[in-house]
Structure 1
């Protein structure tokens, strides 16, 4: 399945454009982005701002986007096929 089939090319456009020939680097960058996001959530929880996390429902939505959709889609070759 190509990423075009599920309409997620805008999500991976920046990393795919910059690191088109270096798929492993793209994969690492996606995990850095998700790591920064989860670190920010931990900071909010540590500061006692749980209501911010809950009010935006960050945990559920963003966990799904970054871990299950975003990172695996970066593991594709330039011809839009999965490795």
Structure 2
């Protein structure tokens, strides 16, 4: 099991994950990143355009191991 940090950004604003999370298998990183994105979207619900937001997943050495777009960001942006 390894610990990863799940940071969220649109290139201008950031939500940093200082604690990180243990992920049992690297194949589960995408699911965890999608969950993190949904949590950020819920917590910052006044925002209407999520189309540029991404979850960047980093290992504890700071290496980026995944770049995951926010789920449904494009649909919300079009609906606004």
User: Which structure's residues are more often helix, by fraction?
Assistant: 1
| TM-score (norm. length: structure 2) | 0.35
Work out which structure has the larger RCO, using CA pairs closer than 8 Å and 6 or more positions apart in sequence. 1
| TM-score (norm. length: structure 1) | 0.34
